[in-house]
Structure 1
Amino acid sequence: MSFIRTFHGDIEPSKLGFTYSHEHIVCRPPYWVEQEKDDLLLDDREKSKLDVQDFKNLGGQAIVDATAVDYGRDVQAVKEIAEETGVTIIGTAGFNKSFLWDAPIPEHVKRLTGDYDRYSEWIEAKSINELADFVIREVEEGLEGTTIRGGQVKFGTGYNRITPLEEKTLRAVARAHHETKAPLHSHTEAGTMGLEQIELLKSEGINLEYISFGHMDRNPDPYYHEKVAQTGALLSFDGISKIKYAPESTRIQCILELVKKGYEDQILVSGDTARKSYYKHYDYGLGLEYIIGKWVPRFIDEANQNGFDGAKLINKFFIQNPARCFTFKK
């Protein structure tokens, strides 16, 4: 039986609906708290909720909250937002990238990780299989000791490098996937090291059709995208609206290049909206309404101009592909 695991239990894949595949809703990353980077702290439940409600009002139905344990999740706050807005939310077990691990472990997480002061100390001390067991518990029992179970497992690597601890967590997450059948998600810093991650995943026996690679649009290289797509993996274009990295025309062109090559079933789209200044109700940003309200109509127009059925592609990117990507393959 196939299912998608959400904050409110398991659902049939057909029930997921229009989905943002990579967002952050309420989080206080310990690393950014220590660095006093307020813009990176999504620490107001009510403001986050208003943006989620905007998404819902425009027809949005589901959000994947890609916040792992080391990025300061507030599981209870996100659960309440899901309940109050009616938006389906998928949680994330696993890890992020290594520089975030030079940060204190919050007290409520220490109950689960043991007597370590910082994430780096904990990850260094534990074996791959011990870290895998932690991830498995978050999928099968609950995130951070709650009863809210994770709906995907995540690992990450840094810019143009994979550190020994990042390889360790990658292998732990791969083994947790084998045990739980949870879908996999990869953080690639600035869209780099995806192919190198793939070689490590192959060594762990991973079927790459079960993984989505994040931040592919941060590296707008069609040749690279094709090489990732040839493995069967999904590519997440999750930097929509971040013009400081590239104009929307670049992202849309990269997506349409993949479509031309026959990979339309392997594309996800989202915003990775992880700063106050990206949120409408924190700091007047474009907010969670932007993609569904503004980007989708633009994409349909550009796709149609290029001879594609834009509405059909949107259905693939936001409904059909997420329903397949986030399904547990039992």
Structure 2
Amino acid sequence: MTGEPKVRTVLGDIDPAELGVTNSHDHLFFASKQLPGQELDDPADAAEVLLDFKVRGGAALVQWTPYGLTRRTRELASISQRLGVHVVAAAGLHRAEHYAPAVLGHVVDNLAREFVADLTEGTQPADLPGEPRTGPRAGLVKVAGAFHTIDSHARLTMTAAAVAHQETGAPIAVHLELGTAGLETVELLCGKLDVPPQQVILGHLNRNPDPRIQREIAETGVFLGFDGPSRANHATDWRLFDGLEALVEAGHGGQLLLGGDTTTAAARYQPGASYLLTTLAPRLTEQLGGDVVTAMLVANPARAFATSWLA
């Protein structure tokens, strides 16, 4: 790829150095049939969350909400401009169970084309088939693995994401189901589909706190996302610190990203996106040191979400 790396935000491309303190995985808008009654779909609430994140020292938020799950990119752009916080939106597709059959039927036959269009032309308003692409452009492709395996749906979406990466340079962010199948995902994306490891971000590694697996994944060169803190039932808080410390000591501090991953109305304020800065970062600083935590929040996201865009 040629040209200076840029991060593609909902307001346009910026220099990676402008990104600042970054929540590397969260959702201001998200709605799935798997979570009835827990929709994040209120622009006023989203603005309040983003403002609080800014007041706490945040400068950028990466929304991993893909096609069909109420990503509301035009509202993202409006809120971003009004508050002065960078926001990155996602193209892509989640696990099949999140969608009604009609939604999947609209896109599965032309996934790569859909992904590329979201990245280069703009996202569809309200994700409605047939609507003109007048929304902001996405800045990454988000796809999802299956529990402990790469099923047929994951193979389809990851292959389309790899094509979209080759055509645009876009980073690929992967939801690992309960943190599993990380090595299998890297083998497919980087081994068989030729996506550079530094352009792949694996999410939810904190949900499968196996230090040996985390170390093996880190040795491949991909970015490792530790997101969704304060979910005790996912073994996050009480194992997160030792896991991050082990990876830093092994020389992988430059690959670590932190995020909030708020996906339900119940979690919007408890703990919420700002928990990352009000609680998690100070505790990590005590254990790992300020420079290490700053890298996770600033330098690492600036590299993870930047690319020399081809289109």
Same fold (TM over 0.5): yes
CA positional deviation for 1:123: 5.0
2:51 to 53, 63, 72: 53
CA positional deviation for 1:249: 2.9
* 1:260-287 superposed Cα distances (whole Å, 9 cap, x missing partner): 100000000011011111112xxxx222
Partner residue, 1:9: 12
TM-score (norm: length of structure 1): 0.87
| 2:229 corresponds to 1:240 | yes
CA positional deviation for 1:259: 0.4
Query: Mind listing any 5+ residue stretches in structure 1 that lack a counterpart?
Result: 105-116, 304-309
Give the alignment's Cα RMSD to 1 decimal: 1.4
**Residues 133/203 of structure 1: CA separation in 2 closer, same or farther (3 Å cut):** same
| 2:302 corresponds to 1:299 | no
**Residues 147/78 of structure 1: CA separation in 2 closer, same or farther (3 Å cut):** closer
1:203 to 186, 192, 206: 192
Tell me the distance in 2 between the aligned counterparts of 1:251 and 1:118.
36
Partner residue, 2:30: 27
2:293 to 314, 319, 328: 314
Partner residue, 1:139: 119
Partner residue, 1:38: 37
Tell me the distance in 1 between the aligned counterparts of 2:42 and 2:142.
25
| 2:81 corresponds to 1:83 | yes
- SS of 1:228's partner is helix
Contact between 1:153 and 1:183, CA under 8 Å: does it hold in 2? yes
Contact between 2:60 and 2:87, CA under 8 Å: does it hold in 1? yes
* 1:270-318 superposed Cα distances (whole Å, 9 cap, x missing partner): 11011111112xxxx2222211011111111122xxxxxx100111100
CA positional deviation for 1:134: 1.1
Contact between 2:229 and 2:236, CA under 8 Å: does it hold in 1? no
Moved more, 224-233 or 236-245: 236-245
Contact between 1:26 and 1:73, CA under 8 Å: does it hold in 2? yes
Q: State the structure with more CA Rg.
A: 1
TM-score (norm: length of structure 2): 0.92
Number of aligned pairs?
297
- SS of 2:68's partner is helix
Query: Mind listing any 5+ residue stretches in structure 2 that lack a counterpart?
Result: 125-132
CA positional deviation for 1:70: 3.0
Tell me the distance in 2 between the aligned counterparts of 1:222 and 1:324.
24
Tell me the distance in 2 between the aligned counterparts of 1:143 and 1:42.
19
| 2:268 corresponds to 1:288 | no
Give the residue type in structure 2 aligned to 1:155: V
* 1:84-108 superposed Cα distances (whole Å, 9 cap, x missing partner): 221100011111112213x15xxxx
1:183 to 162, 171, 174: 171
4+ runs deviating over 6 angstroms: none
| 2:201 corresponds to 1:212 | yes
Contact between 1:26 and 1:77, CA under 8 Å: does it hold in 2? no
| 2:302 corresponds to 1:323 | yes
| 2:91 corresponds to 1:93 | yes
Moved more, 75-84 or 227-236: 75-84
| 2:165 corresponds to 1:166 | no
